[in-house]
Chains A and B, each alone.
Chain A
Amino acid sequence: MKAFSYERASTVEGAAKAAAQTPNAKFIAGGTNLLDLMKLEIETPSHLIDVNGLGLDTIEKTAEGGIRIGALVRNTDLAADNSVRRDYGLLSRALVAGASGQLRNRATTAGNLLQRTRCPYFYDSNQPCNKRQPGTGCSAIGGVTRQLGVVGVSDACIATHPSDMAVAMRALDAVIETIKPDGAKRAIPIADFHRLPGDTPHIETALDHGELITSVVLPAPIGGKHIYRKTRDRASYAFALVSVAAVIQADGRGKVAVGGVAPKPWRAEAAEDELRKGAHALASALLADARPTQQNDFKISLTERTLSAVLAEARG
């Protein structure tokens, strides 16, 4: 690990300012992904700003009837929260489908959104990777691609976003609230938060330099059946090959996001018009622009089958 200096931030404004004013600084909260990457010298910050002392660890009702989740609410606490279990069940389900108990106890809401891909070529610093070292090329393309993305990918990068939580939040129309170093606040719909790789796969989110996530807001509960179904190589503690987060209403309408297939939680609101026609129609619309490799084209049919299982569960 490269040496770095360290400070404990005491205010959100101060944290954002410090990040803007210190060269090569990064925020650290749970640290479960960042430290892993720092040990491998894939992340090499020269300064860490510890945000664990900022509070931001409560879940509160909003005036609109939804909830505001503090950026530092741990994954375990979010999954266990009574209002989340009752009103946003798929979020609770998605959280406990991810990582291990130890990791969920540390990992935070904001950190989960910001975690980086687990593409093996991103992790292998002996190989070129446009996300790790812009302009060096993509080793995954033409390599071992079974786990990698099938839709939203580019010629520069076919990595997936690994989060389960973010897939549920995408189906729930979450909004990410931030503060910038100049004190300005903004709200970013989750649809616009993660970026597709294009030719700049190293730029993964809409956040500006020094911008700090303070909370994630969920709109008022919409009822319906909440389902998160994850297909993976092991029954526990494995990243998704394909996952589906869905809220299905009694009349068959609903909201559906898919994980494990794209560089961001994958949802196409227009495709949801196909929901009542069944899994095949929905999957075809969702993955219309897919460009899988020979090794991962099974994710197309696996998406359809996972959707099919979700729709059957919703009817049952």
Chain B
Amino acid sequence: MPTPIQLELSRRKLLVSSAATVAVAGAAKDVRAADIRGKALQNTTAVALEVNGETQHLVLDNRTTLLDALREHLHLTGTKKGCDHGQCGACTVIVDGRRINSCLSLAVMHEGSKIQTIEGLGQPGNLHPMQAAFVKHDGFQCGYCTPGQICSSVAVLEEIKANIPSHVTANLTEQAAITSAEIRERMSGNICRCGAYSNIIDAIIEIAGVPA
């Protein structure tokens, strides 16, 4: 009778070997006819991403969005899939310092990119100030859009500091101000179906350090 530990080990070995079988079968199917340049056309690509400071080497089906790579391959499920079409902002992450919709970007297009997700911004016991402000101001109800809202909020304040104009910036040749109107406009790509908007604005305003 094997001990529980031995059982666990053999189960792991079994999983590893069956995964390898799947990978080999997958690879054979992946190579399509070479094009007229003689280049092998493959449905998978190797990519190295730096996610929350750690380099991750992945071989992905080319169709894998950055969102799915984070959630399904790296198990960073803080980033949420809402509409999957760039309309709701739940999938917002910060890539090379800029917020983007991770659902509308292929993971293989991010070779060498530095990606920051909600897990990288802060952790339980070590919250990012914006996370703490969302808690304090009750800037959420169901919480599904919240990781995207927080990533966007952090990036919005950086965008204003970097003097990137918005639709409500009065004068294009002056430094954009941190105002409630500016923040509302810049956060319009993050939808909250629970309608926590006013509390979200309060949280961002507090972190921005300006009177609302």
Contact = CB atoms under 8 A, between A and B. Distances in A.
- Does A associate with B in a complex? yes
Interface of A: 1, 3-8, 18, 21-23, 28, 31-32, 35-36, 39, 46-48, 50, 52, 76, 79-80, 85-86, 89, 92-93, 96-97, 99-103, 105-106, 234-237
Given A5-B62, A237-B189, A85 B165 contact: yes
A5 B42 contact: yes
Given A5-B41, A5-B43, A76-B164, A101 B173 contact: no
Given A22-B37, A80-B162, A85-B165, A8 B99 contact: no
Given A7-B39, A35-B104, A39-B84, A101 B156 contact: yes
A67 to B, nearest CB: 16
A315 B132 CA distance: 48
Contacts of A50: 108-109
Counting chain B CB atoms within 10 Å of each CB, which of A36, A76, A99, A101 scores highest? A101
A25 to B, nearest CB: 9
Interface in B145-188: 152, 155-156, 159, 162-167, 169, 172-173, 184-188
Contacts of A28: 106, 109
Given A100-B188, A101-B186, A47 B35 contact: yes
A114 to B, nearest CB: 15
Contacts of A1: 63
A160 B52 CA distance: 41
- Which 5 pairs show the lowest CB-CB distances between chains A and B? A100-B189, A5-B41, A236-B188, A237-B188, A85-B172
A82 to B, nearest CB: 8
A76 B98 contact: yes
A100 B84 contact: no
Given A23-B35, A79-B165, A96-B165, A101 B108 contact: no
19 contacts: A4-B62, A6-B62, A18-B37, A22-B35, A22-B37, A32-B101, A36-B86, A50-B109, A79-B165, A96-B167, A97-B167, A99-B189, A100-B89, A102-B152, A103-B86, A103-B104, A106-B104, A235-B188, A236-B185
A100 B190 CA distance: 9
Given A48-B62, A85-B165, A96-B167, A101 B159 contact: yes
